[in-house]
């Protein structure tokens, strides 16, 4: 199966459709009047579909077992065709489109099985996905006309005693979000040096500053203090989200003291210095973090 351990739980929805076509009006009448010998076709097929949705991972090898939190089956009769819709919802790391399509397929097949004694000309057709919502792609906000900067905070990197990896990783991740020509800087673990560089970036009209390093418990880790003094509007939920995401993957994430908020019109995030910490933090925050710029401009939520 595909590795989804790096993903976050979000609301996922899907609606799938199938069409059952009968060969005569008498079959439709029997369905509506509940006179089919095998029983109530719509209710039996619905029940079978609900079972199918929950058992999708048992039938499709690459499907992940996931919690099904809502299902609904809807029918619409159009002449000699019965249109079936299956809606599925979950709050999980991966989508439910296959669950919806599997469920609606079994609804259609159950109808076929129940109707075949009275109609030999039944067809199942047009099994397809009608709608899919949820996941990062659904909440994606492109970074149009936004400027970013990455600030590496490290005594050893600034002294050319080690090579920066975390800052370069941030630059690459931002490039994936359509941030081009990201500014880049390196300073030692000193409050004055950090603050001076952050202020410089702010004066240059940078919209997003991401620092890496100096958020731990060492006496030299002063990034939260340096940046915290500059913020005029904190957003605690950003780093709470990052820590919660990391805590599910490593027990040490709770020790990060990162902060986030605005200095004027510039959003500043303080990430850990490790590459894994940076990668997990950005996985938990991007691209939905960029929605903050739409909110700041007074635009409505999607």
Contact 256, 246 (CB under 8 A): yes
Continuous segment of H or E residues that includes residue 280: helix 275-285
Q: Write down the catalytic residue from 40, 113, 119, 155.
A: 113
- Distance from chain centroid for Cα 141: 12
Q: Distance between CA 143 and CA 36 in Å, rounded? A: 58
**Count of Cβ atoms closer than 10 Å to residue 117 Cβ:** 10
Contact 262, 235 (CB under 8 A): yes
What are residue 90's DSSP bridge partners?
A: 12
What are residue 12's DSSP bridge partners?
A: 90
- Distance from chain centroid for Cα 118: 47
Nearest to residue 170, comparing CAs of 155, 154, 148?
A: 148
Residue 194, exposed/middle/buried by CB under 10 A (0-12, 13-18, 19+)?
A: buried
Confirm whether 113 is a catalytic residue: yes
Q: 250-279: string of b/e by CB count within 10 Å (b at 16+)?
A: eeebeebbbbbbbbeebbbbbbbbbbebbb
Beta-strand (E) ranges in the chain?
10-21, 70-78, 81-92, 123-133, 148-153, 183-187, 208-212, 233-234, 260-263, 266-271
Q: Which residues are catalytic?
A: 113
């Amino acid at each position: 199966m595909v590795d989804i351990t790096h993903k976050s739980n979000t609301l996922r929805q899907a609606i799938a459709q199938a069409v059952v076509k009968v060969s005569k009006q008498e079959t439709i009448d029997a369905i509506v009047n509940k006179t089919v010998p095998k029983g109530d076709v719509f209710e039996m097929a619905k029940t079978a579909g609900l079972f199918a949705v929950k058992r999708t991972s048992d039938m499709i090898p690459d499907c992940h077992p996931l919690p099904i939190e809502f299902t609904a089956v809807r029918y619409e009769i159009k002449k000699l065709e019965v249109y079936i819709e299956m809606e599925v919802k979950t709050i999980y790391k991966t989508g439910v489109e296959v669950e919806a399509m599997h469920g609606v397929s079994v609804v259609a097949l159950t109808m076929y099985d129940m109707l075949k004694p009275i109609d030999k000309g039944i067809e199942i057709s047009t099994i397809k996905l009608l709608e899919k919502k949820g996941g990062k792609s659904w909440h994606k906000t492109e970074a149009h006309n936004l400027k970013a900067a990455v600030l590496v905070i490290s005594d050893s990197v600034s002294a050319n005693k080690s090579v920066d990896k975390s800052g370069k990783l941030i630059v690459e991740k931002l490039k994936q979000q359509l941030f081009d020509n990201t500014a880049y800087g390196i300073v030692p673990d000193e409050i004055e040096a950090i603050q001076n560089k952050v202020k410089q970036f702010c004066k240059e009209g940078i919209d997003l500053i991401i620092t890496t390093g100096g958020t731990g418990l060492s006496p030299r880790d002063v990034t939260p203090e340096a940046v915290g003094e500059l913020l005029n509007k904190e957003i605690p939920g950003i780093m709470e989200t990052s820590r919660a995401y990391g805590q599910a993957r490593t027990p040490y994430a709770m020790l990060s003291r990162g902060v986030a908020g605005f200095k004027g019109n510039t959003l500043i995030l303080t990430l850990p210095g490790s590459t894994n910490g940076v990668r997990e933090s950005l996985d938990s925050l991007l691209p939905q973090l960029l929605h903050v710029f739409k909110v700041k401009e007074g635009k409505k939520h999607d």
